[in-house]
A = this chain, B = another copy of it.
Amino acid sequence: MSAGTPDFLSRAAEILGQENVVAADSAHAYRDPYPLHPEAASSAGVRPGSVEEVQQIVRLANGTATSLWTVSRGKNLGYGGAAPRTADQVVLDLSRMNSIQEVDGELGYAVIEPGVTFFDLFECIQERRLSLFVSVPALGWGSVLGNALDRGYGMSPYGDHVQQLCGLEVVLPNGELLRTGMWAMEDSPLGHVFKGGFGPNIDQLFTQSGLGVVVRAGIWLMPWPEAFASGEITVENQDDLPQLIDSIAELRRREVFQNNCLVGNVVRAGTMNGPRSRWYTGEGSIPDHVVEEMREAMGIGNWNARFALYGDPGMIRERIRIIEERFNRSGFTVRVRLYEGSDGGPVTYADIDEKDQTTMAGVPSLKALSTVSWYAEDGGHIDIAPLMPARGEEVYDFYQEVKDLYAEYGFDLYIGYHVYARHLVHVTMIFFENGNPEQLARARELYDKVRQAARRRGYSPYRGHINNMDDIAAEFSFNDHAVLRFQETLKDILDPAGVISPGKQGVWPKRLRTSR
């Protein structure tokens, strides 16, 4: 805890009420749910309920030289959760600001506060019977806005969430309020329909950022589709991965696939049907012959791709035809189930089998949480998610290197490739038992090895665990780290006291910066 913090917290309590100030030693203090270091500390926090309260808190932080760490819902599991970069930072917890301020069912957008979860937005739209579809990520309890700002993604055609932001309201580090894009024009109907404004576009400065606190934003929503299809592609041979990736990416570039296909390996499917002890109780990576048994037991391929299709049923049928032609030619099995409205109108959730009411169908869920209990009931995980070009041979080559590393460190290799038009996100997790020092030490080492292997190939993660942000930022080294120096220049001028999320993505304010 830094020197000014007690003063800050007592004065924050005057602004917010004592019930909205959380002490670092309280049961509700903020901590990494899956700490990689067993000794990880917990942090104090404040919970403003309005834009004005955020402004007051930010001004108070300036006056008391207090570091704040902004979280919306703090559900970045595998990246540190609600824990700040350093335990002495006070969490600026925006979860009480959870109002859905506007939903436009015609043009397709919502204006939301940071505390709004995917569940909240989904339920709001169902209740109001709006013809809109919510793009959701693996877990629905996170913040819609926080996910987009941290460049998280969902499983739908609108899954690149940061690209759906349109019009931000931001509390700047000096406490002033800013609106971006057309929203800066007073009484304009364009605030959430056009991403632009006039002059240098500043919106994206507030993504993965400590340059301000986003307190409201517009986010685009897809029209509810007339029909929906859920599909899977099964690949028997492990070494057919290159063809699978190349074909998926090409059909995504051709806009036959509409969402990011998700390609998983056998262990990934196993974690959905865990715990591990159901399949194997030995040490080390699960051996290939056991993987083969798991595969047979689950009736799946060595690679299993899931996708969904959305829109007019006639167009969906054409998409299915193209997909089947392409993958059958490679000897892969394609299964698709098309759902249409039962009464001649658009499809509804009542028409869709429960097993297909997945995140790809826009249904927020907590099902994926169970995977963390792979090794132990009290399990955790860390995510490693390097970006790669969507080129099949490159992906397969890296896969083999990563597989060897997991074997060397004795963990089971979970793979989920999220395949986009030009890149993919190579999501792998390391599962562990919380607080198991031997396992955590190995997990940390493996994490570093995979990161090094990725770095050698020029693959950087799309986001970072709080413990690793400085290392990742350092990889962007062109011209003596010109980009980080540029970000620091902005930090110094916009946040001279260095109060907003110091160290976020490796960008530290001057007072906390150490020489590189």
Do A253 and B458 have beta carbons less than 8 Å apart? Answer: no
Residues A311 and B254 in contact, CB atoms below 8 Å apart: yes
A10-18, A81-89, A173-181, A353-361: which one contacts chain B?
A: A173-181
Number of copies: 2
**CB-CB contacts of A308-340 with B at 8 A, as 1s and 0s?**
000110110111011000000000000000000
A242 lies within 8 A of chain B by Cβ: no
A494 to B390, CA, bound (A): 36
A198 touches B506 (CB 8 A): yes
Q: Which of A117-125, A187-195, A275-283 contacts B (4 or more CB under 8 A)?
A: A187-195
In the bound complex, do residue A458 and residue B185 qualify as a contact, i.e. CB atoms below 8 Å apart? Answer: yes
Contact A208–B204 (Cβ < 8 Å): no
Question: In the complex, are the beta carbons of B185 and A460 less than 8 A apart?
Answer: yes
Establish whether residues A478 and B193, one from each chain, have CB atoms under 8 Å apart when the complex forms.
Answer: no
Q: Is the CB of A311 within 8 A of B255?
A: yes
Any B CB within 8 A of the CB of A214: no
The interface centre, meaning the residue of A255, A311, A322 with most chain B CB atoms within 10 A of its CB, is A255
Q: Is A256 interfacial (CB-CB < 8 Å)? A: yes
Interface size, chain A (Cβ < 8 Å): 97
Of A178, A198, A208, A473, which is in contact with the most chain B CB atoms at under 10 Å from its CB? A198
Mask for A453-471, Cβ within 8 A of B = 1, else 0?
0000111111010000000
Q: Which of A98-119 contact B (CB under 8 A)?
A: 106-109
Partner of A207, one of B201, B211, B505: B201
Q: What residue of chain B has the Cβ atom nearest to residue A157's Cβ?
A: B255
Contact B312 A254 (CB under 8 A): yes
A223 proximal to B (CB < 8 A): yes
| Residues in B whose Cβ lies below 8 Å from that of A203 | 204
B201:A204 contact, CB within 8 angstroms = yes
3 closest residue pairs by CB, A with B: A188-B458, A199-B505, A201-B204
- Please give 7 more A-B residue pairs, beta carbons under 8 A apart, in addition to A223-B254, A315-B319: A184-B477, A190-B388, A198-B472, A199-B209, A199-B483, A199-B506, A223-B250
23 A–B contacts from the bound complex (CB under 8 Å): A107-B249, A109-B422, A178-B483, A180-B483, A183-B478, A184-B477, A184-B478, A184-B482, A185-B460, A186-B458, A189-B394, A189-B457, A190-B458, A198-B464, A200-B205, A200-B209, A202-B486, A220-B422, A222-B253, A223-B254, A312-B318, A314-B322, A315-B322
Residues of A in contact with B (beta carbons under 8 Å apart): 106-109, 151, 157, 163, 172, 176-180, 182-190, 193-194, 196-211, 220, 222-223, 225, 249-250, 253-256, 258, 311-312, 314-315, 317-319, 321-322, 387-391, 394, 421-423, 457-462, 464, 472-473, 475-479, 482-484, 486-487, 489-490, 492-494, 504-507
